[in-house]
Structures are given as C-alpha cells and as structure tokens.
Amino acid sequence: MIRTAFFLSLLLPAALSAQTDRPNFLIIVADDVGMAELGPYGGEIETPALDGLAQEGIRFTSFYAQMNCSPTRAMLLSGTDNHLAGLGTMGGGFQSPNQDGVPGYEGVLSDRVVTFARLLQDNGYRTYATGKWHLGFSPDNLPVARGFDRAFTQSGGAPADSHFNLNGRDGVPGGYFENGVNVTGMPVADDFFSSDFYADRIIEYLRSDPEQDRPFLAYLNFAAPHIPVQAPDTHIDLYRGQYDDGYDVLGEMRLERMIDMGLFPPGTGLSERAPTVTPWEELSDAARRIHARRMEVYAGAIDNMDDNIGRVFDYLKQAGLYENTVILFISDNGAAGFFGWNDGPAAARYAAADNSIENLGREGSQMFYGPGWGSAGSVPFNLFKRHAAEGGIRVPAIVSGPGVGARGAISHSVLMVSDVAPTILELAGVEYPQGSYGGREILPQTGRSFTRLLNDPAAVVHEADEVLGLELWGRIAVRKGDWKLLRSEPPFREDRWYLYNVIEDPAETTDLSGSMPDKLNEMIAAWEEFRTQSNVIPPHSLPNLIRPMWLIDDTPHPDPMP
C-alpha cells in the first residue's frame, strides 16, 4: 500500500517538463536528532544520503533552533520569533496562567505572520507537506490553510502511541489529517512505518501533480526518532552489538571524529556530565544490555530516516528535478535525553507497554533512549532537548542546491532557524509583505536571509553587536557575538545567570559571570532588549502538565528500567 508511489516513480521518464529558472525547495526536518549522531557530523550511524548532501553543500556548526519542537517550527515557517508567531510556549496546557490570552501565546501559528509556503504558493509554486505539523489542528490552523496545496500531517507533537499506525488517543486533540480531512485511524499496510509513509506521500504528491512545469516546495517532516523510539523490522537489528561499550565511550569517539573533520578545533572538550546520567561503569550488566539495545533501536530509526531521504533524492534525480532543488536539512531541537514519564496518562501507557528487551522498539513498546545516549548525541555541547544549554538548541543543518557554491564546506557563522524563511523567499525572488496581508495586519520577519553565505561560508549574517535570543518555560539563552548568557533551572544549575564564551568554550564548562561582571551586565541588558522586542512573557509558574510529563529530567531519579 505505502510503496505504490515508490514503484510508480520508477516508471517516470528521465526528465519531466522544463521548469522555470526559479529553484525548487525541499525542506527536511528531523525530530529530536543531535548533531553528533549523523555521519556528516562524525556520527557512526550510516547516513549516506546526508553524507552526500554535505559533500555537495554546506554544514553549519552554529545553527540555533528552539529547545522544543513546535516553537522551532513556528520560527521556521514564519521567519519570526516564536513569541511573536503564536508559540511563545507550547499549546495544549503548557502555558503558565500569566501567559493565557496574551498575543503570541496562542499555542498555534498566529494569523499575524505569513508562512513562506503561502507566499510561494501565491507566486506560482506548488506546495506540499507531510509528517509532523504541531502548529494547530483546527481547520484554520492546518497546513492547507497556511499555504500548502496538499498535506498529510500528524497534527500533534508525537505519534499517539506508535510509529506503526495512524491511530489517535483518547483525550488528546488532533490526530492525522490529509488535505484538512481527519484520517486518524486510517487502515495501513502491515509494513507501515511513519518515516516510510511520509517519504512515500511526498513522492506521490510530487509525481502526481499535473502542473509539472511549476516549481515546488516540499516540506518533509519526519516524526522519528521522536518518542516512542521505534524502528521497522528492516532496520531494528542493523546496529546490534555496536553500542556495548556504552555512551561515555561513544561520546568521546564522536567528539574525536568531529575534531578530525574540522567541525571543532583541537582541544575542544566534553561537557560536564548531566546529573541524570549514571556513569556506564556503574550500571549493572543487565542495565547495560537494555541501554545498549535502546541505542541500537535509535540508530536503526535514524538509518531508516536517511534511507527515506535517499529515496526522495533518487526520485528528484530521476525526474530531472534534483539539480534545480535547494535542499535544507535540520533537526527541530537537540537530542531528547530524558527517561520517560512519572505521572499522568503517558506514564500509564509506559507502564502498560511491552518494554521487554526483546520487544524494545517494536509495536507495543514505549521506549526512550535516555540522557546517557542523549548526551553522547549532543557532544561537545551540554545537555539536550528542552534546555537552553547548547545541546538543546544548537542543531545539525545542511544546505545544498542551486545558489550554493561552497561544496563540502563547513560554516561556523551563527544562524537562527528564523533565518530560513527570508532566505527561501530571497532565492525564490519573493518579497515578504509589509504591514498587512490578506486584509489583516502582520508582523515583520525577525530573521535574516543568509543567501550570501551560500557562496562564502565565512560570511557574517548576524553582526557581533546583534542580540539573538531564545526562551521557553523560563529557560533563557542569549547570544551576542562570541558570548552567551544562560539561565536554566536546578538541578542542572543554580537559578541564576551564567556567562560563557561559546567560541572558546562550546561545552559551557567555564562560567565567567563572577570574573567578568561588566560583560555579564552587558548580556543581561541584551536579554532585556530581546525580551522587550520579542514579546517574551516569562512564566510565573510551570503548569503541572509540564513537570511530570515533560521535564522529568529536572529531578535526578533511578532509571525506570523495564
């Protein structure tokens, strides 16, 4: 069933009708992947499609996303800070009471911004989306209402219970939608897996559109390897035995390869151990076996994702579209280094799941790969998803295609995910509207185009005196030149300001707030500037829904081994 589009694509002629000179765009978003986990960044997981993309284009080492998924996606599509674009915090009960009803905190993509998909659509592009959406599930918030001609999307943040079906879950809004129609519970083939399906659908949309002479935007969002971490039978055992030495050794090996590749300078060290990580040598033999199996499954999920990216690339090449397609790959945040849930319906699902070592990653399991592997996926950075430390917000990003003249290059220039939309619009020759759109007032974009960087990887997009900020749930990161101001929460740090030079110290090991009070005050003033300009409303409290279900890593506790 889900393979039909792939086999039909093999029957295509070598080239389709000639397109205009305007480029196509393929935007690929992975869900919860750390930089060090991918081949182009020194990871041992086999990712030949991404390896090839990096050889043809540019890898970025200082590309910042938000510390959680939907705020990143709001910034990506709008080119505007998430606090202005409607995702100042995640929707669905994640708001603090003082944020309720505040513009910019709607929990869905605001109508005060315009997606680049809508503007490309207005200017003759055919537009498609598949996979995770997470920006609203009412009719006016689904992809077909925000600029996509055709879309098959998962409206929520995670698969309801499995990557092996399209089922919903009691009490959870949204589900799966195709072209605005709720298809939750749709029958699927026996070999269904989300990554396979989303790649198939994007190929089908591209292949079946009768207007092949028009350029396209394809927005492919994988739900994997987001929890529950699962992999199809074709990939679940590919890495058996490869992680028996543990996450501590793996992190060291990955960092060594990153330095050898020129991604980070010699002497770059590892970050301090997160308090939720038990040293590998202190685990029992049984615990090590289970932890190693978790990572094997996780690696299989990423390997499968890359295979599907390769299938999309193969289709584009076969159809004569690849050479004129700008391709951008990113992750929506850092690796997901948490255990699971302590309380609520999600914890009940975890307790009821078959998480035996034989079934980990298969149908019926609810698996997390944990903070040890998450830390190894974040090297050399500290911490992981949901944190303002570098490991939560500094993500892999690769761009290739027409206009990218620096093949195989590495860029250390600082970029924000909000810079993507203005870059795409500039490459397409489309201007973002000023003041109003469709009879409503809209906000200006806050991102900057990085088109000049595509031929000069050393080009500066954000000047040293420009203030760049990220905030979510009161966790704060501010970049200004080489400097970073950080505020997190116990037990990872005390509840105060920290100051780092993240060029010299990307692992955030040396806090300079005490020795450089003038620089600290300058950065606190930068935070106030960002807070005011970007409509940041720090939460007075974190709602109960967040702490037990999502911020479990805030309290060190024994690993809930199955």
Q: What would the DSSP string read from start to end of 355-378?
A: --TTTTTSTT-----HHHHHHHHH
Q: Give 149 or 554, the one with higher predicted confidence.
A: 149
Q: Are strands 126-132 and 150-154 parallel, antiparallel or unpaired?
A: parallel
Q: Band of the pLDDT at 561, cuts 50, 70, 90?
A: very low
pLDDT tens readout for residues 190-231: 999 999 999 999 999 999 999 999 999 999 999 999 999 999
The residues, ordered by sequence, that sit 6+ positions from 557 with a Cβ below 8 Å of its Cβ are 276, 339, 342
Instruction: Give the active site residue among 134, 226, 291, 462.
Output: 134
Per-residue pLDDT band at 15 (split at 50, 70, 90): very low
Beta strands of 65-203 (E only): which ranges? 126-132, 150-154, 176-178, 181-182
pLDDT at 440 over 80: yes
Query: Mean pLDDT, to the nearest integer, of 464-485?
Result: 97
Question: What angle (nearest 5°) sits at the alpha carbon of residue 370, between those of residues 367 and 374?
Answer: 125
Residue type, 35: M
Q: Is 69 a catalytic residue?
A: yes
pLDDT of residue 4: 36
The predicted structure's pLDDT at residue 342: 59
Nearest-angstrom CA–CA distance, 503 and 105: 33
Q: What is the pLDDT of residues 422-431, one digit of tens each?
A: 999 999 999 9
Please give the Cα distance from 64 to 35 (Å, whole number): 11
Tens of pLDDT, residues 146-172: 999 999 999 988 887 799 999 987 666
Sketch the domain layout of the chain as residue ranges: 22-463
Nearest residue to 186 via CA among 204, 205, 160, 208: 160
Between β-strands 440-441 and 150-154, what pairing exists: parallel, antiparallel or unpaired?
unpaired
Asked if the model's pLDDT at residue 538 lies above 60, the reply is yes
Mean pLDDT across the stretch 50-59? 98
- Mean pLDDT for 244-261 is 98
Active site residue 291: no
pLDDT, residue 352, reads 85
How confident is residue 93, by pLDDT bands cut at 50, 70 and 90? Answer: low
Does residue 325 carry a pLDDT above 80? yes
Q: Which residues contact residue 460 at a Cβ distance below 8 angstroms, ignoring those fewer than 6 apart?
A: 413
Which of 182, 150, 151, 180 has the alpha carbon at shortest distance from 166? 182
Which one of 69, 83, 291, 462 is the catalytic residue?
69
Closest CA to 472 of 369, 383, 546: 546
Which architecture characterizes domain 22-463 according to CATH? 3-Layer(aba) Sandwich (3.40)
Q: Where are the beta strands (DSSP E) in 38-86?
A: 58-64
Residue 552 has pLDDT above 80, yes or no: no
SS3 39: helix
The answer on pLDDT for 239 being more than 70 is: yes
Q: Quick check: pTM over 0.75?
A: yes
User: Number of H helices and number of E strands within the chain?
Assistant: 14, 17
Residue 125 has pLDDT above 90, yes or no: yes
Question: SS3 of 472, please?
Answer: strand
